[in-house]
Structure 1
Amino acid sequence: MKRADLDLAIQRACEIVRQSNVYIIGSQSILGTYGEEDLPELVTLSDEVDIAPVADDPNEIVADLLDGQLGEMSQFHQDNGFYIQGVGKRTANLPSGWMKRLVPVKPPGAPGTTGLCLDPHDLCAAKLVANRPKDITFVNALLDADLIDGKILRARVDMLDPNGVSGSGIPLARRRAIESVNRQNSRRAAG
């Protein structure tokens, strides 16, 4: 996925939900901070953009509109090679204060619309908690490229709400964050 794809996703999502702002919750929110040319290739391979309407109802019906019109196997997906997954803003367990660190993306062809992308460290903290192999690979690629600071990531993991995660999510995320800091420090010392 490229930044131009993210711009189009923001524009179309804002049109569908009839709002000027949407949240970019998933991995492609990294494109709000970095251009695709600065990112490891595997970080931009996803053909899905997770978007949450800023104003949604408790049943997330507005998010469902995105799935129906711009989702997987839609005409939008066929035409553009990627699709929008409508989600609620509570989909990801994010560190406290995440809304203050959002990265605004204003698509050049859509004045008055903004995609509010997750800060890369908040994104990676949520991915460590999710603990899926693809999420761990994503975080490690950003750490290895020195696009994420392991110490900041560890601090963000400590800011996660333990009530928002079932099972061993937070302790496991903390362990992975500590490992990532140690690995990044070792690599820097050797380099």
Structure 2
Amino acid sequence: MKRDELEHVIRAAADVASSDEIVVIGSQAILGAIPDAPATLLWSQEADVYPLRAPERATAIDGALGDGSQFHATFGYYAHGVGPETAIAPAGWQARLVPVRVRRGPRDEREVVGWCMEPHDVVLAKCAAGRERDWEFAREALRHEVVAIGELCRRATELPLPAAGRDEVIRQLRALAAAT
């Protein structure tokens, strides 16, 4: 996914959910802070989103813009309607969201704001999920200096995981950083 495609998803999700503010979590949220992020971080064609003030409308987004929808078939990327509970992220992640402001349309001056998870929080949420592809994402983010190991380790202590889980995330992140 590219930044303009993320903006399209934000705009479309806002229309479907009748909302002016959409939260973007998951890997493609990286495009909020880093519009020209390295290609190795942009392989996903899915943006995980929900309306900020009405998360329950995420199901409508999933139906209209989700995997296998006409939107997906037309554009080659899609929105996955999720909820705020989907993100296993460090405490305070909502306060660090990065705004992406987009116009509703070519003749419509009104703005929609996509609130994208900050890169360190994205990486830590991926690490908390713990899939092989998530660790690969973390490795690439470190390799391209999109995130700093010190900040990752600091925030990892705030993950909503048992202490052993937080320690394991920190251990694996340090190993990735040492190998890059």
Pair 1:99 & 2:98 matched: no
Is the partner of 2:152 in helix, strand or coil?
A: helix
Deviation at 1:174, TM superposition (A): 2.1
Any gaps of 5 or more consecutive residues in structure 1? 185-191
Q: TM-score, normalised by structure 2?
A: 0.90
Structure 1 residue 112 displacement after superposition: 2.2
In 2, distance between residues paired with 1:177 and 1:64? 34
- Indicate the structure with greater strand content: 2
Q: Is the 8 A contact 1:131 1:169 kept in 2?
A: no
Q: What displacement does 1:178 show?
A: 2.6
Q: Does 1:171 align with 2:170?
A: no
Give the corresponding residue for 1:188.
Answer: none
CA RMSD of the aligned region, Å? 1.8
Amino acid of the structure 2 residue aligned with 1:53: P
How far has the Cα of 1:181 moved from its partner?
4.2
Moved more, 10-19 or 48-57: 48-57
Partner Cα distance (1:169, 1:40) in 2: 29
Counterparts of residues 10-159 of structure 1 (less than 5 Å): 10-36=10-36, 39-56=37-54, 60=56, 62-110=57-105, 111-159=110-158
Cα shift readout 1:103-153 (whole Å, capped 9, x = no counterpart): 000114553210000010011111111111111111110100111101101
The CA distance in 2 between the partners of 1:31 and 1:105, in whole Å, is 9
| CA–CA distance in structure 2, aligned partners of residues 52 and 97 of structure 1 | 18
TM-score in terms of structure 1 length: 0.85
Q: Distance in 2 between matches of 1:88 and 1:126?
A: 14
The residue type paired with residue 80 of structure 1 is F
Whole-angstrom distance in 1 between the partners of 2:103 and 2:14: 14
Where does structure 1 differ by over 6 angstroms across 4 or more consecutive aligned residues?
none
Structure 2 runs not aligned, ≥5 long:
none
Percent of matched pairs sharing the same residue: 34
